[in-house]
Structure 1
Amino acid sequence: MVPDIETDGGTTEMSRDENVEMSRNAVRDGVLDAIGTVSLLGFSLLALFIGVRGVYIGSSMAISGGFVIVSCLLAAAAFNLIPPFRD
């Protein structure tokens, strides 16, 4: 069934500038999301390394465990398993 242009309000025409702007915004958001995910995973690996190293060299187990927990939380945030930190 072909929609009737007269009854559905017509077509919305986007200008070339609006189309280019929408595409740029979509690409920019995608790139920033990818950078954010990689950054969170990097911080997660750093916190995991510090926590595991603390366990092996015999430092405080509470601090080492805290780093491991923070590492797990950062990895979960990177994969959207927990609600995001920002609105």
Structure 2
Amino acid sequence: MGLDIIDGWVVTAIDGVEAAGYSAIVVTLDTPMIACREFDLANTYYPFSFEEGLGNYLNDPAFCAKLQKPPKEDMRGAISLWAQNLEIPV
């Protein structure tokens, strides 16, 4: 994912945490790739292609600012932007 998208999402997430009244954030590190389970691959199941698991991005103002149209008008474009650097077939 482009760093500008990640940076924008991080700012939005931190603002939300502060607005909720939390005083600490725990950061965990993970791979930027989704798990490609054999069963899912064999059945060509990619949940993100069906708008599942993308709520953090589709509701994020920084991510949505990068889109030509809002996700409600062009979900395929939103999914494509999200997946462009993750090598995820959509």
Shared fold per TM-score greater than 0.5: no
Q: How does the TM-score come out when normalised to structure 1?
A: 0.29
Answer 1 or 2: which has greater helix percent. 1
* Bigger RCO (CA 8 Å, 6+ sep): 2
